[in-house]
Every structure is written in structure tokens, then in C-alpha cells.
Amino acid sequence: MTKVNTAQAPITDWQSYTPTFGNMGTVVSIDVKWRRVGDTINIVGAWTTGANAAGFPTITIPSGLAIDLAKTPAGGMIVGTRHRRPANVSDHAYIYVQDATTIILGNVNASTQFNASDSIQIVVTSLPISSWSSNVVFGDRAVEEYSSNSNTADADDTTSFVSGINGSLCPGTLTNIRTRRVRFQTPIQPTDKIDIEVLDNAGRWVEVGQTYAVGTNGYPVNSFTFTTTGTGTGSVGMGWIGISGNSTDINVMFGAIYYAALDGVNTQGWGLANAQGNRWRVRKVAGGGMVGYPISARNVTGDVSGTAIPTGNIGEIVNFDFLSPAMPAAGNIVNAFSKTLQPGSWLIHGGASVSSGSSSVAGTDNYFVVSISSTSATENSSNRVASTIAPGGSNAERGATTHGFVNLSVATTIFVTIRHNYTTLGTSAITNNFAPRPQAIRIA
């Protein structure tokens, strides 16, 4: 598929948000929406006021955005209109910018403009946003996002979402049709292509219906259908269906069995695919990614701006926190650093160091071990590295650096742990200045 690079103003779908209301009391019946148009946002909204105060009525713009005050100075330009509709009366006022995150609904105190329980409607037609451009270049390749569900039990599941290219293990033995809900980080568009893929016995990700060998007997996984019984126990294969009113989720259906689609006779249970280590995922492919516009954590387009990568995007960097632990007794494990990481795939790199202090340390091998672990004060034997300080040495410092990958389906605290075997501690201490401070880099 060939894509042509184009430059045009992006226009997004309308989305709801709840602003912070100023000087209008307890606001009810809130219905406020916004969308992007080029380098600006439009806002429309309606609500009912509460007990109004002696200050300008204000609302905030969507969280994370900032008004470009160079284009629209505070108090200097009209950016929209406000309509009030009390009983049998109506009036209008202009909307102005107050600061980078707030707009004023008429340059008069709320207690003068409004009565309690007045119905308010607003239209903000063009509000410039900092760092946005009206021309957006589309990349020359598709934008891919992968999602799955980690539940392997003989039951439906609507919450165990997993994002990332590794997918999830196939379910165990199923006795009926089972649904696994998956969630994408970007809304599903009419032009998106969605496919279910299975990791076959040759280690290849192949679309369902074309999979060559899955499970111990090597049967392909066919698209969801029924055998001649037409019941849940006679359901076979995999398929997906959309969810009415939901733009980010789909339901993946697993039949109780799967079978060789060519003969329609020989069947195999999912438990065998599970035992074999076969995996599954849903792949969503959208159009070209917009350069300079916030993108999802699963986009394959890169950020070439040279600025800090926004939260949730590939390349995001998160620094771990040093916990300043005391040196433990020999053989005990303590947390040197920690950080809670959000769902996604992360590369973690860094370590910790030990100083012998002004007095000597002693031990048979004189080593300490640094590891990356998802369990507090627990060493991860699959991801650790050792370093040494010579026996009898003083004022010596050594660091140990390790790295590893984690694929998280939920927010998880990751720890950098340390353990030593010194028989004499002296004045030794755990430090953070001789090994790179641990960082996590989002890779998917």
C-alpha cells in the first residue's frame, strides 16, 4: 500500500470534557465538548448555574492544553459568545481569554450576570493552542496498535487489557463460547483495518484463517463459526465483534474448540494451544500518523521534534526515584530505586552502587548484586548483575548496571534491588552516584 505525504489542517472528532467552573456555584447538567481544528480548538457547552459569586464567571479549557497568548492575549480578543436563558428572558455576552488555561464568560461578575439555576450555553469558535500547527504532515506508513486480553480462564473477561506486540497466551480448556474484551488506546475509525493474529508453532504472527499450526497436533485456527450442532459447545475458531456506543473496545470471541478448516472434522481444544505456548493479539492498522500531533503509545511513527516525549508516546523517558536505603545485613535484599510505570512495553536501564566508606569491608567473594524486579525487596534471578569491592578496601565505590524489558497490562511498581555478601560492613553505604540512575523508556 502506497501513501502520499500531505500537509493539511487536522480536524478531530468532538469529545466531552468537564471544565472547572469559577464563581458559578455548584454547576449541574453539564454537557461540554471540544475538538481540534488546525492550531485551534472549538468548544461548545451547556450547563445550569448554582449560587453565583462576586467574581468573573470562568471555565477551564481541556486538561493538558495551553492557550497561545501570543496569538490571543489575555483580555484582548473575543474568542466566543455566551448565551443565558433564564425564565422568559435571554441575553448574550462575549467570551475572553483570562490566562493560558481559563476563559471568561462576560466581563462582569457572575452574581451580576446570572441568577441561580440559569441555563448557560457557550460557543468558542477559535482558540489558538500553544505548540500546535495548522499544517500537519502525514507519515508514509500505517499506524499500528496491538491489544489483547490476558485472562486464560473458562469465563468471559472485560477488564484484563494488555497492550503491546507480545499479545497474550491462548486460553486454557473452554466449555462454551468465551468473550475477551480488548481495548485500543486510540478510537476505532471507519477506515481502520482490524485483524486477529495467532503466533503459530513456527514463531510467526499469522492472521486467523491463515494460521498454519497451533497446538500439539498442528491444526490451524479458523474464523469463528459453529459445527452442525449450532450451539456454544459446538462453537469453533476465533472472531471479533464491535460494541455499540464504544469507540475503543471490541469483543473477541473464542469458540470452545478450533479445527482444521480444510476438513471440518478434526478438532482440538484451546488447552493444547495454551500448553504449547501459542499466543494471540488483535492488530489495528490506521492511516498515516500525523507529525507534530499527539500520538498514541502504540504508533509506529517517531517524534523528531527534539523536545521531551509526551506521556504515553513511544520514547517517553521515566526516571526512577532513589530510596536512600540503609545497608542491609549480608544476604538480605533492599529496594534501592522504584517507579510506578503505566501499561505498555518498557526498556529499563540503570543500576546502583556501593561505597565502602572510610573503613574496610570484608567478605569471601565481596560481591553485591543489582536486579530489576516487579516485587518489592525480591531479587529477579532472570535480570541481575554483580559487582565487587576488594576485601580490605576503603573509600572504594563500585557500580553495577543492568537492563531488561517489561510488558505491563496494568500500572505496576518496578524496583531496582540490591543484595551483598559482606561479612564486615564497616561504614559502607548504598549510593546513586557511580551507576547510571535507572530509567524506563517506552518502546510500545
Cβ–Cβ under 8 Å, residues 194 and 291 = no
Q: What is the DSSP string of 276-342?
A: HT-EEEEEEEEEEEEETS---TT--PPP-S-SPPPTTSTT-EEEPEE--PPPPPTT-EEEEEEEEEP
- The band of 294, judged by pLDDT with boundaries at 50, 70 and 90, is very low
Q: In the chain, list all ranges with CATH 2.60.120.760.
A: 317-442
Mean pLDDT in residue range 124-148: 73
For residue 236, give the nearest of 210, 254, 216, 214 by alpha carbon: 254
Q: 238-272: per-residue pLDDT in tens?
A: 888 888 888 889 999 888 887 644 445 567 888 88
CB atoms within 10 A of CB 189: 11
Cβ–Cβ under 8 Å, residues 137 and 5 = yes
For residue 406, give the nearest of 369, 439, 370, 435 by alpha carbon: 439
Rounded distance between C-alpha atoms, residue 40 and residue 37, angstroms: 5
| CA geometry: angle 268, 269, 271, nearest 5 deg | 135
For residue 8, give the nearest of 305, 307, 286, 287 by alpha carbon: 287
Does domain 8-128 bear CATH number 2.60.40? yes
Q: 74-112: per-residue pLDDT in tens?
A: 877 888 888 887 655 667 888 999 999 999 998 889 999
Specify the 3-state DSSP secondary structure of 270.
Answer: helix
Architecture of domain 317-442: Sandwich (2.60)
Rounded distance between C-alpha atoms, residue 315 and residue 13, angstroms: 26
Q: In the chain, list all ranges with CATH 2.60.40.
A: 8-128
What does pTM read for this prediction? Answer: 0.38
